[in-house]
Amino acid sequence: MASTLPALVQGYVEYLQRSGHKRRIVNITKQQLDYFVTWCQTQSITASDQISDTTAADYVGHLQNEVDLINGAAIGIRIVRERVTKLRRLFEWLARDTNLSSDIAATVPTIDKRGKANLPSNSCYDQKLPA
């Protein structure tokens, strides 16, 4: 039976706490992963069995096109990298400690020094949005 995404994130957060991570790191990780869960819900992805090979790439594409609601500027490279790193670590934990596919973490695109991701052609964000 598939777990809900909030339950998976909560399980991962509890794992981090048991592993002795500092409270600040655990709280930041939860906050960053909550953005992923919220995005998934807007995409009608609510359970682990709905995560596909393109879910992570689509989320990274979304991050690269996201704007700050206060000033309208694109979110910074550092924030994108942090969120992508937290997502990769979650997927690695899911592959290790649950029944999710072992290559799920490999679906998370890497971010280059300029803050751009190499998105697969089957991602819904594979085309650059017009400026």
Is this structure's pTM higher than 0.95?
A: no
Closest CA to 8 of 106, 99, 94, 95: 94
Domains observed in the chain: 5-107 (1.10.150)
pLDDT score at 6: 94
With a cut of 50, list the residues of the chain below it in pLDDT.
1, 126-131
Q: Chain-centre distance of CA 91, in angstroms? A: 8
pLDDT score at 75: 76
Closest CA to 119 of 108, 105, 130: 108
- 20 CB neighbour count, 10 Å cutoff: 6
pLDDT score at 14: 96
pLDDT score at 32: 94
pLDDT score at 40: 94
